[in-house]
């Protein structure tokens, strides 16, 4: 749809054999291979920079956001979970002081 696009969240390996989850703006999606531009600036991956062209496999996709041309969006389940956690933590901390 004109003006719309899809962003996907996927893990990227860190030098200490962990994972750093970052968002990728999809440019091309062929079968299970996805080519896109990295939206985040990595914290623990020195050889990777925000805006870099990256390739991920569809099986690695952890979350998605579909942006529509009219400004609506769907997805971002991890963002909703993080927001709920932060609200609960703030509420809990308020009563601990």
Average pLDDT by stretches of 10, the chain with 97 residues: 88 95 95 96 94 96 93 84 65 59
pTM given for the model: 0.76
Q: What 8-state DSSP symbol labels residue 82?
A: H
Query: Using an 8 Å Cβ cutoff, are 61 and 8 in contact?
Result: yes
What is the pLDDT at residue 91? 58
Ramachandran region, residue 75 (left: φ > 0; alpha: ψ -120 to 50; beta: rest): left
71 alpha carbon, distance to own chain's centre: 18
What is the pLDDT at residue 96? 63
Sign of torsion, CA 53 56 58 64? negative
What is the pLDDT at residue 31? 92
H helices, E strands: number in the chain: 1, 6
């Amino acid at each position: 749809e004109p003006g719309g696009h899809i962003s996907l969240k996927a893990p990227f390996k860190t030098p200490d054999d962990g994972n750093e989850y970052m968002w990728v703006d999809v440019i091309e999606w062929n079968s299970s291979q996805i080519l896109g531009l990295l939206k985040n600036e990595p914290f623990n991956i020195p050889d990777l920079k925000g805006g870099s062209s990256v390739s991920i496999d569809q099986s690695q996709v952890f979350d998605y956001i579909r942006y529509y041309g009219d400004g609506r969006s769907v997805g971002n389940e991890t963002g909703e979970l993080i927001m709920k956690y932060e609200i609960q933590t703030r509420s809990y901390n308020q009563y601990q002081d």
